[in-house]
Amino acid sequence: MSLLFSYGASAEHNVVLRSYACCSFIFMQSFLSPRKDESVISTNGGNEEMVTDSINVARGLSPPGLSSSLSNKASVVPTPLLPNEPSDLRFNRLRPSIDESKYKRLFGCYVAREAVIDEEYWIAAWLRAEVHFEDQSGNCYVESFKRKFASQEFHALKKRCSKQHGEKYICFVAVKNDDLRRTVLNSVVGTLDVCVRHPLHGEKFPEEPGRPSLHCRIYQPDQPKFGYLTNVCVAKYARRQGIASNMLLLAIDAARINGAENIYIHVHKDNLPAWSLYNQIGFKMVDQDGARHASDLCLLSFGS
What amino acid positions are annotated as catalytic residues? Answer: 278
Strand blocks (E) in 156-259: 167-176, 188-197, 225-235
Nearest to 40 by CA among 126, 164, 136, 141: 126
DSSP state of 91: T
Strands 167-176 and 225-235: unpaired
Looking at the DSSP assignment, which residues form a beta bridge with residue 113? 104, 173
Number of residues assigned to the chain: 304
Q: Torsion angle of alpha carbons 270, 272, 274, 275, nearest 10°?
A: 100
Q: How many other C-beta atoms lie within 10 A of the C-beta of residue 24?
A: 10
- 113 CB-contact burial (10 Å; exposed 0-12 / middle 13-18 / buried 19+): buried
Nearest to 132 by CA among 146, 144, 119: 146
